[in-house]
Structure 1
Amino acid sequence: MKKSLAIVMVHQGAELYGSDRSFLSALRALREHHPDASIDVVLPEPGPIVDHVARYASRILYDENGVLRKKKLKARPLGTLANMVRAWRRYCRLFERYDVCYVNTVVCVAAIAALRSHRGGTYVHVREIPSRFALRVFRVLLRFSRAALIYNSNATAAAFGMPGTVIHNGVEVSADSAPVSARGGRPLRLAVIGRINPWKGQQFVVDALRTLGRALPLELRIVGDVFPGYEVVLDQLRDTARACAQSVEIRGFTNDPAQHYAWADYALVPSVLPEPFGRVAIESFASGRPVIAAATGGLTEIVTHGETGFLFEPNNAQALLRVLDHAVALPDDDHARLANAARACYVNRFKVETYMRAIAQTVQAPHDAAATTSAARDAIALQRESR
């Protein structure tokens, strides 16, 4: 009797932000491709993602010490490293049970290091573009692991400079895109959606509005929250928002941001450092909303300036305000054209089915890999041909 395939998937979070949702799509892809497989998922802790994981996983395990968190490392460097070593040993023993080991994001340091001793199929899905020093450290770790690499964008692949497969993320929407309403004389509506942290650019935007853009007729809605322990970042953002001449609304994290995309005229993605992919941009496209984005990282692979939105020089307040001023003055018909093109871009390039097909064809046990190499290439080619 043929032994059923055993797969383990390690993820760094327990919420429902972009990387969490992309992980869920990868899990679903492997479950649908291998319906009889045993698929175990390792999370750092319980959270909103658990109910979604439970739909596809055979079992959910927890290990909080294998994920590299800068705050923990700074507060207790020796204790954190000791916990990492213990987690690495646990993963070495755990991985012996599986045919395929898939690790999502490079911050799952202990799990990645443990891949080296595994003789089955090993994969690391790289979804970050770290700082220069951290990038060198992660390159060493990935080489040591000997795992096959999957990148979420060409920008991420170029940053690491190591062989791998590029698979753009895809998203699934539960409803048709919201109708685009004519603005008339009302202010322009902008939504910034996602994790709040300095490099995502929320503070950059409110600083620009407070100092240089006070005359712009717009409304800003920021949707998201900070990692626990970083509340000072949120406090500063709120203080600056209150000093802006415009209406700046800060809302917490939501599992379903559809209402915020429907409210907005544009999603704003103002990342001040290279964005590895930019899932918010394709969520906005799926909702029928064009995007105003910093021209950095994977965002330049998604947004076409003047066609599906607008790009501006990252971390440049004047460049941002010039684009916003142009968006404010744009006639309703031209905005509708951008919105229609954005939706078409999603349908043609970023549907979740395309992403899941590519994941399922790429993540394979060693005895299946040779037989599926051409199928994997075909799946990746579908994404390239649709650009």
Structure 2
Amino acid sequence: MTRSSAPHTALLVHPGAEMFGSDRMLLESAIGLVESGARVVVALPSNGLLVSELRAAGAEVVIVPMLVLRKVLLTPRGLPRLFRDTFRGLGAAWRLIGRVRPDVVYVSTIIIPQWPLVAKLRRTRSVSHVHEAEASGNTIVNSILYSPHLASERTLVNSQFSLQTIKHALPALAGRSHVVYNGVASPPQPVSPRPRIEHALRVLYVGRLSPRKGPDLVIEAASRLRQKGHTVEVTLLGAVFEGYEWFEDELREQANAAGVTVNFAGFHTDIWPFLTEADVLVVPSRMDEPFGNTAVEGVLALRPVVASDSSGLREAAGGYATAQLVTPGDADSIAAALTDITSRWDEMVSTVADSRAEALRRHAPSVYRKSITAHVLR
């Protein structure tokens, strides 16, 4: 069999092996390409939960050194590691592309900048998939981060917000970019909300425990409601980045001081049991988000959603009768939205199925997989 008649080989490169938003999208991309008949090889910098999921989907996984841009690398203490990872990453990328001989290199996220450049030097077509966008960030810094991906043939972005952010920072890259909305998995048979709110309102937060994501705002909103005589129980489903343990300590101190019941559930790959137990999902990000998978997951799970009215979250949560958009960084707005949802609970319960149907139409994983495959394998 000649190379031209052989199945495509796609090398997918991703900067981590966890199971958060971009990790799940990498998995969906791999599944779509495997389903198309392509040989899929995924390069990761480390082992993690994502590895077994990829192998179960039919992808090959290799662990290789690579430069992953993190803020810590741009500090005086991090510079030696930056230089080390740069040179080790270049060599590893060059050798792997030579060994796999892919038809295309799919570069997932902007924080692994070497891969489009090495692919071009190797005369291999590449496609970049951008999952990051901060319109409030420094334009010069954004343009530097995006510029290596000019070496790719095309760029995929997960929202109109992301596209406009790229256009502002690097118009040349925006001109070859295409919006592919995230595919979001759904529970096959979600459980309806309880018919009445009895005792405490159960509020769920899903995501990294970090200041920019705003879990402290959920606790503060619950405290405001407690002061008005309402009982609220909060579950924080997620963990901190290494080095941010201090923030979880602050959250625990905040909850104790406010007298709010908070369950620190840690990280779980299966979020659906937690959504089943919850009444409302809150997505309170302070900073720009390129999209908002978690908000869509709440809608798919038949739960009312409160989300920050900004950036890609507006695209993810907007247009649903059971989703409310609130002022970013404002605990009072979150508290007011929770009060409103509780007061209109019968209406919420009767409408969640319609919202779910619309979310399925917009974000079915099958639609995402086909779109990714069409752009990557063309």
Could you tell me how far 1:246 is from its partner in structure 2? 2.7
Aligned partner of residue 125 in structure 1, secondary structure: strand
For 1:205, the equivalent position in structure 2 comes to 218
1:140 aligns with 2:150: no
CA contact (8 A) 2:204 2:234 kept: yes
Could you tell me how far 1:210 is from its partner in structure 2? 4.2
CA contact (8 A) 2:219 2:260 kept: no
Q: Aligned partners of 1:228, 1:199: CA distance in 2, in Å? A: 15
Quick one: which amino acid aligns to residue 26 of structure 1? S
Paired residue for 1:79, among 81, 101, 107? 81
Paired residue for 1:101, among 102, 105, 123? 105
How many pairs does the alignment contain? 361
1:295 aligns with 2:309: yes
Deviations 1:41-98 (A, max 9, x none): 1111111111111124553111343211223443322331332233123213433421
Correspondence 1:43-58 to 2 at 5 A: 43-58=44-59
CA contact (8 A) 1:169 1:355 kept: yes
For 2:133, the equivalent position in structure 1 comes to 129
Aligned partner of residue 310 in structure 1, secondary structure: strand
Deviations 1:155-200 (A, max 9, x none): 1111111131111111223531112212243322211111221111
Q: Aligned partners of 1:217, 1:58: CA distance in 2, in Å? A: 47
For 1:385, the equivalent position in structure 2 comes to none
CA contact (8 A) 1:66 1:111 kept: no
CA distance 1:168–1:213, change in 2 (3 Å) = farther
Q: Aligned partners of 2:293, 2:199: CA distance in 1, in Å? A: 28
Gaps of 5+ in 1: 370-387
Quick one: which amino acid aligns to residue 125 of structure 1? H
For 1:186, the equivalent position in structure 2 comes to 199
Paired residue for 2:161, among 142, 150, 155? 155
CA contact (8 A) 1:309 1:338 kept: no
Deviations 1:279-311 (A, max 9, x none): 111111221112110011112112236713100
Q: State the Cα RMSD in Å.
A: 2.1
CA contact (8 A) 1:290 1:339 kept: yes
Quick one: which amino acid aligns to residue 240 of structure 2? V
Q: Aligned partners of 1:78, 1:238: CA distance in 2, in Å? A: 35
TM-score normalised to structure 1 length: 0.87
| Higher deviation after alignment, 123-132 or 151-160 | 123-132
Q: Aligned partners of 1:13, 1:91: CA distance in 2, in Å? A: 16
Paired residue for 1:250, among 256, 260, 264? 264
Aligned partner of residue 71 in structure 1, secondary structure: helix
Gaps of 5+ in 2: 168-173
TM-score normalised to structure 2 length: 0.89
Q: Aligned partners of 1:110, 1:333: CA distance in 2, in Å? A: 53
For 2:171, the equivalent position in structure 1 comes to none
| Higher deviation after alignment, 277-286 or 48-57 | 48-57
Could you tell me how far 1:134 is from its partner in structure 2? 3.5
